[in-house]
Amino acid sequence: MSTPLSRRIFLKSGALALASLGFAPAFGPRFLRDVAFAAESNRPSRGRKVLICVFLRGAVDGLSVVVPHGDANYYQLRREGNGGIALPRTGDGAVLDLDGTFGLHPALRALQPMYKSGHLAPIHAVGSPNPTRSHFDAQDYMESALPGDKSGANGWLTRALANCPEDVRKRAAQIDKAANGEKARIRAVSMTSQLPRSLGGDASALAIADLSDFGVGKGAPPAKPMNRRERRNASTMRSADPTGGFESLYSDAVGDVLHGTGQETFGALKLLENLAPNRYVPARGAVYPRGRLGDSLKGIAQLIKADVGLEIGFAEAGGWDTHVNQGGSQGQLARRLQELGDGIGALWNDLGDAMADVTILTMSEFGRTARQNGDGGTDHGHGTCFLALGGGVAGGRVLGKWPGLAPEQLYEGRDLSVTTDFRSVFGEIAARHLGVRDLGAVFPNFKSDPADFRGVMRT
Amino acid sequence: MKPTIACLSLALLALSPPILAAPPELEAAPAASAKTDAAFSRPLKGEKRFAHILNRLAFGPRPGDIEALRQSGIKPWIQSQLSPETIDDSALETRLASLSWLRESPERLLLAYESETAAFLRRMKKAEKGEIAAPQLNAAQQKLQERIEVATLPEHASVRALGELSVDKLARAVESKRQLQEVLVDFWGNHFNVDINKGAVLALKIRDDRDVIRPHVFGSFRELLGASAHSPAMLVYLDNARSTREMTARGGQKRGGLNENYARELMELHTLGVDGGYSQSDVTEVARCFTGWGLDRETGTFFFRARAHDEGPKTVLGQKIGLGGKKDGEKVLDILAASRATARFIARKLCVRFVADNPPTALVERVAAAFSRSNGDLKTTYRAVFEAPEFLSEGAYRAKIKSPLEFTVSAVRALGGSLEIVQANPRGMRLLTVGASSLNKGGKGNKQRSAQRPLATEIALMGQPLFACQPPTGYAENSTKWVSSSALVARLNFALSLSSGRVADVVLTRDTFKATAIDDLARALLNSDISAPTRATVEAEAQKSPGDGARLHALLLSSPEFQRR
């Protein structure tokens, strides 16, 4: 038990046993970090911080994510039981109480241990100062972090990356050189088929919808039956070169978007050549939920472990626009939340000790009406709820200022009011997690005052 | 630039969610392709014009198309494309006649969907509870069950039907001689987007394509808008079928209520544009005007439920509306279709599709004026775009990056390929609609990946599944959105698969695999206009593996030039 190797083996099997009992998340990274995984060999980030953003597109009903079950008005605005969308305080499908006032949606039970261990901080009544109820404008404003400004500026994550302190960047680059020779780094990746607005304007950010499809001529399907002459002429299309010989097509130093993307793509193909995503086995028995979000989070975990220099991981999930039959502890929204909670829970388990350097932030463009509508759903609203998780998150409490749900407290008489500007959450994470010093450059037209920070990150 | 137009142009930029295009500063880099307004006043000359027109008003040239266009002359060719009834397309129509589900009644299509939903629910219940007791059906369910039994539908009928629509769309894009019509059906189908993954839209999309979009693309905007507002697919997709005045049930509880979804998107996405000058109160008032617009769940057709309609007085965009009944909604459509903001919004969207991602303001203004002057006559509006000097200019040439649909279809066309008209495999169709993620599930996923995929699945894997765009915006017209590492890798792989005959339902002639002189190849695929790196890459490859014609084709189809139109 004294050598690092044997200790690691012991701890790994120990963690597996815990996972199979369903306890692993409860003991989570704190246990892992403090006791077990000091000897883990693939410590991924070497102190480099990683931010994983999970954008819930379509406006998630924040009042169902972290339920204000202690606010009597909540049960006035929403019905319980058949056709109702309120989550009960007790009994079947009850909220998972956090602090007597708020409770997690029962479908998010995978996240409850993180709250208990002080690594999950919900931020409630967060949103944009801009009143738009258009998904598309609101997403745009949130991703540029410039509410009301349609000048098409670059994304906030792009600006955050560009403003990481010089010394940190240099140190990171030196580590990379030592570790990877002269290979390029992948600083930002979005697990989507198109680059999200948040990373817009960063020519080096990659969009990779699916790691296992990211290769040229990989797993080419068998050709149709051909005659001999055709067989002779047809290419096998396999090549020792991971870029398949296509790289020189995009070698021209033309500064347009197509060539820029081409060069980044071929660089990444070489870097990821040996990743073998199909053979990836998550650590500690972590099981990602089926579907796009689970795949995205798994891909990000894999890139973090592969030590490609990742600082930003971006994932997204749709299906939150619950105008009709939203459901309560079960149903449409519950299924989406289950996928979200299980996905983050799996990532947490999979990364283990590395979560010390990782912060996960969920976000959504706005919330939904406080009152349920005639179709057992909710319409476009205003304030919503974000979740921050990670080793450095000062969790175990619900952050933000609760505006209340009384008629006169609702925004325009219908929606949860916004008491925390989303930029102050972004700003705090940029400053205290990514190490950005000049917040003014990342959030122009917004006074990022540390005194206004909600206390998401441990200082 | 007038401020209103500036706002509108930005509004459209904002319309490309959930994810936006690479932002303008990327395009504005000092690049060979940076199109300034000056470039839009330099007319396109010579051969380039023919390829350009076929890349814009058609899904790219097929072998012989450029020659045919030169023979007929540009103006007569455009004129005939604007009158598709004058173009004989009977050969293709005959081949497509085997797609019999496309002619089914909405009633049977909807019933097919209901029957599969009922069967699915039964399976779910069984899985949950181990076994089912005799199902407790209420009267309506009982009736539905009886209708399903009488109809004797084949298994997976609604998925099959949709598969036929997808084959139909792609076959027309690849082979129809009425190319402009197909481009416009794609444009308007995308403008009035509905997502087949939302409930009964799966079944209703077929009639939406046949009866709502297709017959109206050369008519008036007001008629098209009206057809869309009545479309059962749209009424389900944007929830208007559920929007009612607040009613009181027998027990005294409230039931029903307003749903604003359609009202908002009608103004934001279909007509005025997000900066078109409407307020939250207009959204609510428009929603009230449309209460009662729904569908008959038995016949699958439009049905106005007078009882659900809110007869109170309403004000929309400052105008009082009090005609009552269904006329309230019609009046709203009149107001919206005649609005100047709508003219600009539609004009700009057409210019972005047909001219450039950032079309010159003056052009948009002229097209908007043509739209307004003709009371939204679409042919007049298209003419204003196609006859504009900016359309046939250096500024427009290769200024757009092809969408996955445009890229794949233009590649098949360039190789002279055709689509097999086969009964869609329901399994394949399901893959198409769920997109890429589910293709990579363990061993099963690997098996699927190594199998040949049909064209529709290839397009879905590139991020543009047919009829399955989830947000109501439809896919972005701003084409830089389609540029990403993921997309590029998918395109290279598609080029490899296609040129070696590995796309399941694409038929190529054997000649395609022949090694051809590079100049002939460049002429055939890129109208001879190829860059130095592309030429060098292809030449080097031709020396390395002489006789590997498929590889040379794949390289050219993967070139930056072929990604543009």
Tokens encoding B24:
């303008």
Tokens encoding A18:
């815990």
Cβ atoms B541, A245 nearer than 8 A: yes
Tokens encoding A15:
């963690």
Residue A181 pLDDT = 45
Instruction: Determine the structural domain holding residue B290 and report its residue range.
Output: 95-130+137-338
CB-based contact B485 A316, cutoff 8 Å:
no
Among A59-68, A160-169, B129-138, B279-288, the least confident range = B129-138
Band of residue B29 on the pLDDT scale cut at 50, 70, 90: very low
* pLDDT reading at B546 higher than 80: no
Residues in B closer than 8 angstroms to A133, CB to CB, are: 264, 280, 283
Residue B443 pLDDT = 33
User: From the list B24, B437, B453, which residue is nearest A292 (CB)?
Assistant: B437
Average pLDDT in the B230-246 region?
94
B419 in the same domain as B309: no
- Considering its fold, how many domains does chain B have in total? 2
Is the minimum CB–CB distance between A239 and chain B shorter than 8 Å?
no
CB-based contact B239 A58, cutoff 8 Å:
no
User: From the list A150, A193, A212, which residue is nearest B462 (CB)?
Assistant: A193
B409 in the same domain as B332: no
Q: What are phi and psi of A142, to 5 degrees?
A: -70, -35
Cβ atoms B60, B409 nearer than 8 A: yes
* pLDDT reading at A22 higher than 70: no
Name the residue with tokens 């084949």. B154
* pLDDT reading at B105 higher than 90: yes
Cβ atoms A301, A347 nearer than 8 A: yes
Is residue A33 exposed (0-12), middle (13-18) or buried (19+ Cβ within 10 Å)? middle
Among A153-162, B86-95, B317-326, the least confident range = A153-162
Is the minimum CB–CB distance between A244 and chain B shorter than 8 Å?
yes
Test the A interface: residue of B5, B9, B19, B261 with most A CBs within 10 Å: B19
Residue B307 lies in a domain: yes
Residue A294 lies in a domain: yes
User: From the list A235, A248, A258, which residue is nearest B551 (CB)?
Assistant: A235
Name the residue with tokens 């929403």. A78
A444 in the same domain as A299: yes
Alpha-carbon dihedral angle through residues B265, A55, A62, A403, given to the nearest 10 degrees = -100
Q: How far is A273 from chain B (nearest CA, A)?
A: 13
Please count the residues of chain B: 565
Mean residue pLDDT of chain B comes to 85
A348 in the same domain as A378: yes
| C-alpha–C-alpha distance, residues A320 and A135, integer Å | 11
CB-based contact B17 A136, cutoff 8 Å:
yes
Percent of chain B scoring above 70 in pLDDT: 83
Percent of chain A scoring above 90 in pLDDT: 56
Query: Which conformational region is residue B339 in: left (phi greater than 0), alpha (psi within -120 to 50 degrees), or beta?
Result: beta
* Closest-approach residue (CA) in chain A for B437: A292
A220 in the same domain as A205: no
Average pLDDT in the B223-227 region?
98
| C-alpha–C-alpha distance, residues B159 and B145, integer Å | 19
- β-partners of residue A98 are none
A181 in the same domain as A77: yes
Among A346-355, A421-430, B195-204, the least confident range = B195-204
CB-based contact B441 A374, cutoff 8 Å:
no
A186 in the same domain as A137: yes
Residue B376 lies in a domain: no
Percent of chain A scoring above 70 in pLDDT: 78
Residue B463 pLDDT = 81
Residue A267 pLDDT = 83
Please count the residues of chain A: 459
Residue A154 lies in a domain: yes
* pLDDT reading at B179 higher than 90: yes
Average pLDDT in the B47-68 region?
96
3-state DSSP of B233-265: HHHHHCCHHHCCCCEECCCCCEECCCCCHHHHH
* pLDDT reading at A242 higher than 70: no
Percent of chain B scoring above 90 in pLDDT: 59
| C-alpha–C-alpha distance, residues A156 and A225, integer Å | 51
| C-alpha–C-alpha distance, residues B371 and B221, integer Å | 9
Helix B221-230 to helix B327-338 angle, to the nearest 10 degrees?
140
B302 in the same domain as B449: no
Is the minimum CB–CB distance between A282 and chain B shorter than 8 Å?
no
SS3 (DSSP) at B130: coil
B236 in the same domain as B106: yes
| C-alpha–C-alpha distance, residues B154 and B157, integer Å | 5
Band of residue B20 on the pLDDT scale cut at 50, 70, 90: very low
A149 in the same domain as A205: yes
* Closest-approach residue (CA) in chain A for B454: A221
Residue after which a domain boundary falls, among A202, A225, A259:
A259
SS3 (DSSP) at B360: coil
* pLDDT reading at A167 higher than 80: no
User: From the list B10, B453, B483, which residue is nearest A261 (CB)?
Assistant: B483
Residue B101 lies in a domain: yes
A280 in the same domain as A232: no
* Closest-approach residue (CA) in chain B for A56: B18
Residue A67 lies in a domain: yes
User: From the list B7, B513, B555, which residue is nearest A246 (CB)?
Assistant: B555
* Residue B474 per-residue DSSP state: -
Residue B204 pLDDT = 95
Residue B513 lies in a domain: yes
SS3 (DSSP) at B498: helix
Higher model confidence: residue A352 or residue A241? A352
Distance of CA A73 to the CA centre of its chain: 32
* Closest-approach residue (CA) in chain A for B247: A374
Residue B546 lies in a domain: yes
CB-based contact A316 B18, cutoff 8 Å:
yes
Closest CA to B194 of B118, B120, B270, B121: B270
User: From the list A192, A216, A324, which residue is nearest B19 (CB)?
Assistant: A192
* pLDDT reading at B483 higher than 70: yes
Residue after which a domain boundary falls, among B338, B369, B387:
B338
Band of residue B166 on the pLDDT scale cut at 50, 70, 90: very high
A314 in the same domain as A179: yes
Q: How far is B99 from chain A (nearest CA, A)?
A: 25
CB-based contact B484 A212, cutoff 8 Å:
no
- Considering its fold, how many domains does chain A have in total? 2
A98 in the same domain as A183: yes
Average pLDDT in the B122-138 region?
57
Average pLDDT in the A260-288 region?
86
Average pLDDT in the B291-295 region?
97
* Closest-approach residue (CA) in chain A for B498: A223
Residue B541 pLDDT = 85
Residues in B closer than 8 angstroms to A216, CB to CB, are: 489, 492-493, 496
Tokens encoding A451:
């005194």
* pLDDT reading at B388 higher than 90: yes
Residue after which a domain boundary falls, among B338, B360, B377:
B338
Average pLDDT in the A87-109 region?
97
Residue A250 lies in a domain: yes
Among A194-203, B46-55, B73-82, B227-236, the least confident range = A194-203
The ipTM (two decimal places) reads 0.76
Instruction: Determine the structural domain holding residue A289 and report its residue range.
Output: 45-214+272-452
* Closest-approach residue (CA) in chain B for A192: B486
Band of residue A133 on the pLDDT scale cut at 50, 70, 90: confident
| C-alpha–C-alpha distance, residues B277 and A218, integer Å | 51
Mean residue pLDDT of chain A comes to 82
Residue B127 pLDDT = 52
CB-based contact B17 A139, cutoff 8 Å:
yes
Test the A interface: residue of B486, B506, B561 with most A CBs within 10 Å: B486
Residue A254 pLDDT = 63
Can you give the C-alpha Rg of chain A in angstroms?
A: 23
Residue B362 lies in a domain: no
Residue after which a domain boundary falls, among B296, B314, B338:
B338
| C-alpha–C-alpha distance, residues B201 and A358, integer Å | 41
B263 in the same domain as B158: yes
A209 in the same domain as A92: yes
Residue A134 lies in a domain: yes
Residue B51 pLDDT = 95
Residue A276 lies in a domain: yes
Residue B255 pLDDT = 65
Residue B265 pLDDT = 94
User: From the list A195, A221, A252, which residue is nearest B533 (CB)?
Assistant: A252
How far from B547 is each of A223, A229, B199, B534, CA to CA, in Å? 17, 11, 51, 18
Residue A340 lies in a domain: yes
Average pLDDT in the A201-223 region?
73
Residues in A closer than 8 angstroms to B401, CB to CB, are: 257-258
DSSP states along B34-49: ---GGGGGSB--TTHH
Average pLDDT in the A436-452 region?
90
A182 in the same domain as A241: no
* Closest-approach residue (CA) in chain B for A260: B26
Among A247-251, B28-32, B109-113, the least confident range = B28-32
Among A6-15, A94-103, A153-162, A405-414, the least confident range = A6-15
Cβ atoms A288, A343 nearer than 8 A: yes
Residue B67 lies in a domain: no
Q: What angle do CA B276, B278, B281 make, to 5 degrees?
A: 170
A368 in the same domain as A320: yes
Tokens encoding A173:
């680059």
* pLDDT reading at A371 higher than 90: yes
Among B1-15, B467-481, B516-530, the least confident range = B1-15
* pLDDT reading at B248 higher than 80: no
Q: What angle do CA A430, A436, A441 make, to 5 degrees?
A: 95
Q: How far is B516 from chain A (nearest CA, A)?
A: 12
Higher model confidence: residue B434 or residue B259? B259
B454 in the same domain as B309: no
- β-partners of residue B564 are B401
Cβ-Cβ pairs closer than 8 A, A with B, add up to 290
Residue B447 lies in a domain: yes
Residue A265 lies in a domain: no
Test the A interface: residue of B4, B7, B16, B20 with most A CBs within 10 Å: B20
Closest CA to A58 of A240, A306, A322: A322
User: From the list B23, B283, B446, which residue is nearest A200 (CB)?
Assistant: B23
Band of residue A144 on the pLDDT scale cut at 50, 70, 90: very high
A window 61-100, beta carbon within 8 A of B: none
Who's near A444: CB < 8 A, 6+ residues apart? A146
User: From the list B257, B452, B510, which residue is nearest A375 (CB)?
Assistant: B257
| C-alpha–C-alpha distance, residues B275 and B272, integer Å | 7
